Chain A
């Protein structure tokens, strides 16, 4: 499997984030075909797809297209094709929750979701939570305040899952948060601080 585009140049700090943030918006706009509604998608796609095809994904409000095989998961599409590396690959089998993203507002494991089946849907990743001016989402701020992590690898998945947990109405008590967040494992065991962060952010989420 190979990404169709040349890897982005590194920043002096070794990251590609700033570049990709710019390139994302701009290439997305330039290359994206008109976004298909679900009904249109039916006519457009109700034929067999073999090998590489063009897949349109609406990620964090922007339609992006990739050329990929049907076996490419949403997680790999985000990380390897769209350079949105916030969503993490932990177990790659739906057992750890590090890859959690929202699809049409519902939390899912992107490692068990096929990119080709995610077309026509609103995908939200950790990169799409903060406001454009950089102001953090209340859940992100609460994780910082309560030190809801140690190594940080599970954190993007924890935060995406936590946002959904609150919106679902499953953050009524510490016990409820623990039960409804059980799909996100933390190898550093920051659970008490994660729970505290979620209970606090709940009050600040509109």
Chain B
């Protein structure tokens, strides 16, 4: 790992200004993704700004929903009673992710900024448009078993966010609070936070250079209360999702009144399917309805040589998740 300078910020402005003034700097909270990528030389930073002393903590119900400080750790949020009761999909997405050790370390804000597990991105011996724009994408014709089938482009087919939390947050319309070096905050819905690769796969989200994620707010709804995160992977624990589904349903008298559907592992970003949601609302909560919604969710899929299996797997995962929350 190349050396870097280190600063422990005790005020938010100190952190965001340091980031603004040094293009090579990065924020560090848990460090689980960052130190890994720096050891691989995939990321190189001249300065790490430790944000752990900043006051972005707490898990509390507000009028806008559950507000979670971005520095809260995955394990604490996943096991928090307010999260378990009101947002089971969020709790499950956290506790099915990584390992107990990593969940103790990793912050909520950092989780949202995880980077792809595409093997070509993580190995500097290969070209990669995301890591070094314009160098090419070996995954197009190479090992693409784990990569995306929705929202991809000819420059990048990575599942840019490989994790679990943001899939649940996407289904439940969470909002990120960002703060910049002027001390100004703005709210960005997570559905507008990530960017599709297009011709600029290196630009993964709308964060500005001096912006820090300070909180995540999840609106309280009936569908969120009856939500679920279902994760399918190569081994039964401690693995990234091949495919996952975060769903929420509000069912009255056997009819779907509200539906939330997002998929992980298949999209270039966490994949919300408004088409599937539309196909569910007003329909009987039956497997036939769920199957029809799943067909719509995967309609635009563009598989490559090794990942066509994800289409059927995603449909089945979605049907199973919906059936389980409807039961």
Given A93-B36, A93-B39, A94-B36, answer yes or no on A109-B102 (Cβ-Cβ < 8 Å). yes
B3 contacts A42, C-beta separation under 8 Å: no
Q: Is there an interface contact between A70 and B4, defined as CB atoms closer than 8 Å?
A: yes
- Quick one: CB contact mask for A18-48 with B, threshold 8 Å, 1 for yes? 0000000000000000000000011001111
Residues of A within 8 A of B105 (CB): 108-109, 112-113
| Chain A residue with Cβ nearest B38 | A71
Contact A51 B3 (CB under 8 A): yes
**Residues of the A chain whose Cβ atoms lie less than 8 Å from the Cβ of B3:** 51, 69-71
What would 17 A/B residue contacts be, using CB atoms closer than 8 Å?
Answer: A46-B14, A48-B6, A49-B6, A70-B3, A70-B4, A70-B6, A71-B1, A71-B4, A92-B39, A94-B32, A94-B36, A97-B99, A108-B101, A108-B104, A117-B6, A168-B100, A182-B99
CB of A122 to closest CB in B, whole Å: 14
- Residue ID in chain B nearest A165 by CB atoms: B100
B77 → chain A, closest Cβ, in Å? 14
Interface residues of A in 171-186 (CB under 8 A from B): 178-184
Question: Considering the chains assembled together, what is the distance between the CA atoms of A7 and B270 in angstroms?
Answer: 51
Q: Which of B1, B4, B32, B99 has the most CB of A within 10 A?
A: B99
Given A182-B237, A182-B238, residue A109 in contact with residue B32 (CB < 8 A): yes
Query: Inside 8 A of A170's CB, which chain B residues have their CB?
Result: 100
Quick one: which of B75-111 are within 8 Å of A by CB? Answer: 75, 98-102, 104-105
The answer to the question of A114 belonging to the interface, with a C-beta cut-off of 8 Å to chain B, is yes
Q: Which residue of A lies closest to B6 (CB)?
A: A70
Complex interface: chain A residues within 8 A of B9 (CB): 46
Bound: A70/B9 CA distance, A: 15
Which chain B residues numbered 35 to 61 have a C-beta less than 8 Å away from chain A? 35-36, 39-40, 47-48, 50, 52-53
When the two chains form their complex, are residues B5 and A70 in contact, meaning their CB atoms are under 8 A apart? yes
B7, CB-defined interface residue at 8 Å: yes
**Cross-chain contact B8 with A178 (CB below 8 angstroms):** no
Say yes or no: B31 contacts A112, CB within 8 Å. yes
Binding site for B on A (CB under 8 A): 41-42, 45-51, 69-71, 73, 92-94, 97, 100, 106-109, 112-114, 116-117, 161, 164-165, 168, 170, 178-184
A117 touches B1 (CB 8 A): no
A109: chain B residues within 8 A (beta carbon)? 32, 101-102, 105
When A70-B48, A107-B104, A112-B36 are in contact, do A183 and B98 touch as well, CB less than 8 Å?
yes
Asked whether B237 lies within 8 Å of A100 as measured between CB atoms, the reply is no
Residues on B with C-beta less than 8 A from A112 are 31-32, 35-36, 102, 105
A93, B39: Cα distance in complex, Å = 8
Answer whether A114 and B99 are a contact pair too, CB < 8 Å, given A49-B7, A108-B104.
Answer: no
Contact A161 B28 (CB under 8 A): no
Q: How far is the CB of B26 from chain A (nearest CB, A)?
A: 13
In the complex, what residue of chain A is closest to B7 when comparing beta carbons?
A: A48
Known: A41-B8, A69-B3, A100-B101. 7 other contacts (CB 8 A): A46-B8, A49-B7, A71-B3, A107-B104, A117-B6, A117-B50, A183-B101
Residues in A whose Cβ lies below 8 Å from that of B132: none
The answer to whether A117 and B52 have CB atoms under 8 Å apart is yes
Task: Evaluate contact between A94 and B100: CB separation under 8 angstroms.
Answer: no
Residues of B within 8 A of A168 (CB): 100
**Could you say which residues of chain B place their CB within 8 Å of the CB of A51?**
3
* Interface contact A117-B4, CB-CB below 8 Å: no
Distance A112 CA – B33 CA, assembled complex (angstroms): 8
Bound-complex Cα distance A100 to B32 (A): 13
B residues in contact with A164, CB < 8 Å: 100
By a CB distance below 8 angstroms, the chain B residues around A73 are 35
Which of B8, B28, B75, B237 is A179 in contact with, Cβ under 8 Å?
B237
Q: How far is the CA of A142 from the CA of B10 in the complex (A)?
A: 44
How many whole Å from B113's CB to the nearest CB in chain A?
A: 15
